[in-house]
Amino acid sequence: MITLSDVREARERVGDVARHTPLERSRSFSEMSGADLHLKLENFQRTGAFKIRGAMNRIATLSEAEREAGVVTASAGNHAQGVALAADRAGVDATVVMPRFAPVSKVKATRGYGASVRLEGVDYDEAQAYAHELERREDRTYVHAFDDPVVMAGQGTLGLEIVDDCPDLDTVVVPIGGGGLISGVAVAIKEQLPDVRVVGVQAEGAASAGESLKKGEVHEIDSVDTIADGIATRSVGEQTLEVMSAYVDEVVTVDDREIALALTLLLERAKTLVEGAGAVALAAVLSEAFEYEDDETIVAALCGGNIDLNRLGTVIRRGLVQMGRYLKITIDLKDRPGELERVSSIVARTGANVYAVHHDRTSRDVAVNAAELELELETDDAEHAADIVDALEAEGYEVEVLS
């Protein structure tokens, strides 16, 4: 099991590459939660995520023979970029296996850092299986994304920074995918401040850690399904589970709606862009997934900012729905002149802004003398959205709320 000394030694190795990222108190989120809430902005890290810490520490400890043979790894994206950059800085050849559906931005970034990228499998676990084939076939050193004590120690340098910048913290909230980050952070913090509570957060669609801790052995789920692709693993690691069992106080889950809301709020209130995995810690605080006291000093780790731009619009839309700021409805209209104008005037009176209109007379589900009207509306909040629906229904229209 890793020690505080391991983490401190790792800081000496990675300090020239990994940045000491900001830790800032958020007035907005403190007011929303009632806690004294601070954000560890690891999305500002080099490569956009914490993974450079563990990757750099692992490659720095390779033997000369291992450096000559090169390394291989599997990753959904952030670890891939960390290994690619660390290997390039050390002059080591790197092959990275990524799932076929990895975000395009992460694939391009990994290649841009100098690694050879192969796309295999539908998720991290299938990509990992192929990477281990390359490990055996090409005699490369496998750099595990999380289940490696040297990697864990590197990730733990983030915890040292939290203690340095916020020594009076009460609770730290950390995302869990495979468990490498929370293992390193928990050791770094608990060994210095044993009374600090360490809370881990998983996405509901990739939640294996809680069951693993309960059973005392690794529990693997059949598949993963979450917008938080950076923590979308089927299980935690054997070695990370050992550390988590000793140092982590509680594990909670958040769903994709809560993640999307946190991500959208970070953009609007903090002007900070994170990926889904980077939003889960804040999502856990705002959704009260765990109990905390008023004015409790909480640090939420925003572990990455590498979101694919194609996905960003969808996630923001989900977040706006959760905030009551976006309303999508359908209405059945009589197919006669003036009906569309009548609906438009009702919507205008409510003060809503129209994003999009789709008017369909040809759908099989619509009567011959009718038309289906689909409206996408910008609203102020959930109460405003409800007022719009009420106003339309008061005029005799049947309204179906789609989102």
Query: What digits encode the pLDDT tens for the residues 59-83?
Result: 999 999 999 999 999 987 899 999 9
Considering only CA atoms, which of 317, 21, 73, 349 is closest in space to residue 185?
A: 21
pLDDT above 90 for 123: no
**Mean per-residue pLDDT, 235-253:** 97
Domain boundaries, the chain: 4-49+148-318, 61-142, 325-401
Q: Which helix (H) or strand (E) holds 57?
A: helix 51-60
Shared fold status for 4-49+148-318 and 61-142: yes
Banded model confidence at residue 314, pLDDT cuts 50, 70, 90:
confident
Residue pair 53/83 in contact by the 8 Å Cβ criterion? no
Query: What digits encode the pLDDT tens for the residues 337-395?
Result: 888 888 889 999 999 998 888 887 666 566 666 788 899 999 998 899 999 999 999 98
**Mean per-residue pLDDT, 242-258:** 97
Res 335: pLDDT: 74
Query: What digits encode the pLDDT tens for the residues 317-352?
Result: 889 888 889 999 998 888 778 888 888 899 999 999
How many degrees, rounded to 5, is the angle at CA 260 between CA 257 and CA 261? Answer: 85
Banded model confidence at residue 105, pLDDT cuts 50, 70, 90:
confident
Res 59: pLDDT: 96
DSSP helix/strand/coil, 219:
coil
132-167: burial string, b at 16+ Cβ within 10 Å, e else: eebbeeeebbbbbbbbbbbbbbbbbbbbbbbbebbe
- Calpha distance 384→388 (Å, rounded): 6
User: What CATH number is given for 61-142 in this structure?
Assistant: 3.40.50.1100
pLDDT above 70 for 207: yes
**pTM, to two decimals:** 0.88
pLDDT above 80 for 270: yes
Strand partners, 241: none
- Chosen CATH of 4-49+148-318 out of 3.30.390.30, 3.40.50.720, 3.40.50.1100, 3.40.640.10: 3.40.50.1100
Res 379: pLDDT: 92
Res 369: pLDDT: 66
DSSP helix/strand/coil, 141:
strand
Banded model confidence at residue 156, pLDDT cuts 50, 70, 90:
very high
pLDDT above 90 for 215: yes
Measured CA to CA in angstroms, residue 390 lies from 72, 270, 346, 350 at distances of 59, 34, 11, 10
Res 362: pLDDT: 64
Please give the single-letter amino acid code of residue 80: A
pLDDT above 90 for 283: yes
Res 349: pLDDT: 92
Question: Mean pLDDT across the chain, nearest whole number?
Answer: 93
Q: In CATH, which superfamily holds the domain spanning 325-401?
A: ACT domain (3.30.70.260)
